[in-house]
Amino acid sequence: MDRNPSRGMRNMTEGSPAGHIFYFALPLLAGSFLQQLYNMVDSWVVGNYVGDAALAAVGVGFPVIFMFSSLFIGLSNGGTVVIAQFYGAGRLDRVRDAVDTIYTAFTVSAVPITLLAVGLVKPLLLVLQVEEGAYAEAWLYLTVVCAGLLGTIGYNLNAGILGGLGNSQTTLLFLAVSSVLNIVLDLVLVLAFGLGVLGVALGTIISQAVSWLFGLGYINRHYPDIAIRPFCRRFDRQLFRQIMGIGLPAGLQMSMVAIGSIAVMSKINSYGKEFTAAYNVGSRLDQLAFLPVQSLSNAVTAFVGQNIGARRLDRARQGIRVTVVSSVLWSAVMLVLIPLGPALVGLFTDTPAVIEAGTVYLRCIMPFYVLFSVMFSLNNAMRGAGESVFPMVNVIFSLILLRVPAVYYLADRFGPDYMYYGIGIGWVLGFLLSVGYYLSGRWKRHGSLADQDS
């Protein structure tokens, strides 16, 4: 396999760090925007044509689905870092081995995880304290989407493999296929056939499965050197340990964040479906605002990975500085969501109580977004250098052990309009921990994986 950028691969060990990061991040941003767009179309269609109970049901589903898919997203992240480091070091034979190992792990474990997810839907809905009026639709939506997790997992694995090779444009193509198809299916199944929440769920799993399978065909046709062979059964134990050494903490971190989100949502749900629906809409809006930071942070993971693999620590640091400064500037601009809150939430519902609660959510969390952007950027950068344990510990302390009790305390002490400040309190701790650990320099101790490979 060559390293010719014209084939979509991007060698980020030479040239402008800022240029590489922005070039890599832009397709990720466009793809993430498409993903959020079809999520928002889900919410818009359901909120305007089915009802607030259905809107609440769809909102309940996100953290549950994210929890189940997190371990595989962690496998994808670990694959990105390992592939990036070997690619940066010129060890293309090990890149091939990593691709086979990742997909072998996927084919062995994906079906049991899917069955487990479907079996846990009812217990999780009880934990979430979903209001009786939204329970039936939430159960239907979650059961169908959990049954179709294979498409979501497969797409993320394809994206992780290409990300390590510096290719984000092809991932955008996969996601564009999924997004356009999902929007069309939403409109057809919900508006034309009247399937309600079932139509939204079917549209989601069909579009994700098509995106995954389209990605398999496209990669195998255009990149034969890394052709994906799902049932090849080639499994390198040493590579798998390296991938999971990075990916498992990332996956556990995301799973625990999802569990923390479920705990927070349980409190929100206790105030009724209006608060649940408002949280669904508000979180969609703040996730949309966060997309550029998320894209830059994912780009810096691959950038740092390739340069650590090539033993270019100086360039890794330059890329991290570019990412942090850009993320902070964007987060400051997004404070505009505070005054625009009522109008934006009103696009999804005409219920005054939902609009008011969604506006309160944005007013509480947006002032803290600058701190969260720094935390997120540094954690992803350090993960690219092979440091995955600290980001996990940081998230556990800040987003779970502090954030969840803070939300509950503020809600019980001052009322539901103040509970969202607990999210910001968690971000303050995460910011302090990330900056302190980065400045300590301990994240550099892992070195290049190529040097550890026998």
Distance of alpha carbon 273 from alpha carbon 133, whole angstroms: 8
What was the pLDDT predicted at 59?
A: 67
Where are the strands (E) in 220-374, listed by range?
none
Q: Report the percent of the chain where pLDDT is more than 90.
A: 26
Reported as a pLDDT band with limits 50, 70 and 90, residue 273 is: confident
Which H, E and C letters describe 389-448, residue by residue?
Answer: HHHHHHHHHHHHHHHHHHHHHHHHHHCHHHCCHHHHHHHHHHHHHHHHHHHHCHHHCCCC
Q: Which residues of 330-342 are buried (b: 16+ CB within 10 A; e: fewer)?
A: bbeebeebeeebe
Of 251-265, 312-326, 428-442, the one with minimum mean pLDDT is: 251-265
Distance of alpha carbon 97 from alpha carbon 112, whole angstroms: 24
Q: Which residues lie below 8 Å from residue 85, measured CB to CB, with a gap of 6+?
A: 305, 306, 308, 309, 386, 448, 449, 450
Counting DSSP H helices and E strands in the chain, the numbers are 18, 0
Q: Does residue 376 carry a pLDDT above 90?
A: yes
Q: Per residue in 98-123, pLDDT tens?
A: 889 988 888 888 888 888 888 888 88
Which tokens sit at 212? Answer: 């995954």
Of 129-143, 182-196, 283-297, the one with minimum mean pLDDT is: 129-143
pTM (whole model) above 0.95: no
Residue 79 is classified by DSSP as H
| Average pLDDT value for the chain | 85
Residues 43 and 348: beta-carbon distance below 8 Å: yes
Q: Which residues lie below 8 Å from residue 237, measured CB to CB, with a gap of 6+?
A: none
Q: Output the furthest CA–CA distance in the chain (Å, rounded).
A: 63
Of 17-21, 48-52, 323-327, 417-421, the one with minimum mean pLDDT is: 48-52
Reported as a pLDDT band with limits 50, 70 and 90, residue 410 is: very high
Of 72-86, 205-219, 307-321, 374-388, the one with minimum mean pLDDT is: 72-86
Distance of alpha carbon 100 from alpha carbon 98, whole angstroms: 5
Mean pLDDT on 169-188: 85
What was the pLDDT predicted at 436?
A: 96
